[in-house]
Amino acid sequence: MFNTNRRQFLAGTSALAGLSFLSLAGCSKNNDAIRIGFMLPYTGTYAKLGMAIENGFKLALSELGDSPFGKTIEFFTVDDESNPAKATDNANKIMTRDNVDVVIGTVHSGVAMGMIKVARETGSLVIIPNAGANAATGAMCASNVFRTSFSNWQPTHPLGRIMVEQGHRRSVFVTWKYGAGEEALASFREGFEAAGGEVIKELFVPFPNVEFQAILTEIASLKPDAVACFFAGGGAVKFVKDYAAAGLKSSIPLYGSGFLTEGVLEAQGESAEGITTTLHYADGLQNAKNLAFRKAYRAAYSEEADVYAVQGYDAGLLLIKALQETSGDLSLKAEAISAMEGAEIDSPRGSWIMSRAHNPIQNFYTVRVENGINNVVGTAWEGLEDPASGCDL
Ligand code: PHB
């Protein structure tokens, strides 16, 4: 389901109120326009994540007013379906056919790797608003590729130590079997073992399957002290509910990277209560920027913001740095890149800076679900920087 022919203009007195879809024939480039492409999942288990990113991004841009730098903004979208097999084609469509000035994408690590390969050929500016593939800001890093979210190494790096501190030494790790889950597991193992823990079993389900019965039965018979996991979006809802329904919640505490309970708490209900995670954001962060952001997001979209909305919003703030430096002319690529490299982002997650490899250096929080809210119960790691192995930027 592709929407690449839809162009969306920011116009009128309020950027958000003025959003309307216009279909135009042809793709000729209008120099009075800033062309922005979204390559995101709009269908499948990560559909809600894609929409939150787009919403957050547009909220940031709306802060620029009606016609930033005297220009209109045109939006192009492609539904990448979280399907790595279609990533190269989709990236080519948006970068080459639609010829956008910048691509905001994507959520799924495997799709992101395909995008990056194309971006390294086309030189297109890319801002990754979620996908954590370590190589994106590691061995495959590139001057034109930036990330406003995290590397998969980051969120689970502090998790093992926290579990040991809470008295759990024998753990099972459960995940979808693809890049993001495997990298989250590797990082968890590193931290957990360093703290004296032992991963007694790794359990996998293929992405995006949600048939968890077999692994829940296995967990019950293994009787670990705790379970750690990586799931997100629709899959996270199902896993958390199935875990509770299997009667495991009270005897074997559930942990994970914070994606497990982000944007899905309402759907998970009671089954999520007490889950502890580590993440660079939590709904309950009590700083002025987060409170204002959540209020503005609620007013604009009648929904609660989550980490994906924040990452999209921060992608917008990062792009604004580039637009300010170039007076809205992103063809001045060197200037745009240098502005983004030096960026300090005043984010709802707390302010963060861009690493040499173009990944956020940021705080990670210990988060616990209490009364239907992701509450911050501590700082798990201050100013955590991804090792960026193999990046020679
Ligand atoms: C990923 O594929 O990198 C990914 C997807 C969803 C998340 C986190 C990471 O919530």
The answer to whether 100 and 352 have CB atoms below 8 angstroms apart is no
Give residue 49 CA to ligand 1 midpoint distance, Å.
Answer: 9
Going from the C-alpha of 329 to that of each of 31, 36, 324, 332, 341, the distances in angstroms are 9, 12, 9, 6, 17
For 20, residues 6+ apart whose C-beta sits below 8 A from its C-beta are 8, 9, 11
Mean pLDDT of 33-50: 97
Report pTM: 0.94
Query: For residue 276, how many C-alpha atoms fall within 13 Å in the half-sphere facing its CB?
Result: 20
Out of 3.40.50.2300, 3.40.50.720, 3.30.1370.10, 2.130.10.10, which CATH number does the structure's domain 4-150+286-358 have?
Answer: 3.40.50.2300
Over the stretch 332-343, which tens digit does the pLDDT of each residue have?
Answer: 999 999 999 999
Give residue 232 CA to ligand 1 midpoint distance, Å.
Answer: 7
Amino acid (one-letter) located at 99: N
Is 278's pLDDT higher than 70?
yes
Q: How many CB atoms lie within 10 A of CB 172?
A: 21
Beta carbon of 232 within 6 Å of any ligand 1 atom = yes
Rounded CA Rg of the chain? 20
Over the stretch 145-190, which tens digit does the pLDDT of each residue have?
Answer: 999 999 999 999 999 999 999 999 999 999 999 999 999 999 999 9
Is 16's pLDDT higher than 50?
yes
Is 205's pLDDT higher than 60?
yes
Helix or strand (DSSP H, E) at 74: strand 72-79
Over the stretch 171-182, which tens digit does the pLDDT of each residue have?
Answer: 999 999 999 999
Over the stretch 56-95, which tens digit does the pLDDT of each residue have?
Answer: 999 999 999 888 999 999 999 999 999 999 999 999 999 9
**CATH number of this structure's domain 153-279+366-384:** 3.40.50.2300
The answer to whether 153 and 180 have CB atoms below 8 angstroms apart is no
Question: Ligand 1 test: best mutation among 80, 106, 107, most atoms within 8 Å of CB?
Answer: 107
The per-residue pLDDT for 31 is: 75
Cα distance between residue 145 and residue 359, in whole Å: 10
Beta carbon of 136 within 6 Å of any ligand 1 atom = no
Query: How much of the chain, in percent, has pLDDT values that exceed 90?
Result: 91
Beta carbon of 107 within 6 Å of any ligand 1 atom = yes
CATH 3.40.50.2300, the chain: domain bounds: 4-150+286-358, 153-279+366-384
* Strand spans (E) along 231-354: 254-257, 276-279, 344-345, 352-354
Kindly tell me the burial class for residue 192, based on how many C-beta atoms sit within 10 Å of its own C-beta (0-12, 13-18, 19 or more). buried
Cα distance between residue 337 and residue 171, in whole Å: 43
Mapped onto helix, strand or coil, the DSSP state of residue 237 is helix
The mean pLDDT value of the chain amounts to: 93
Which is nearest to 351 in space by CA: 314, 309, 306? 314
Is 236's pLDDT higher than 60?
yes
Query: For residue 181, how many C-alpha atoms fall within 13 Å in the half-sphere facing its CB?
Result: 21
Range from 11-20, 60-69, 301-310 carrying the lowest mean pLDDT: 11-20
The answer to whether 348 and 281 have CB atoms below 8 angstroms apart is yes
Beta carbon of 360 within 6 Å of any ligand 1 atom = no
* DSSP 8-class letter at 96: I
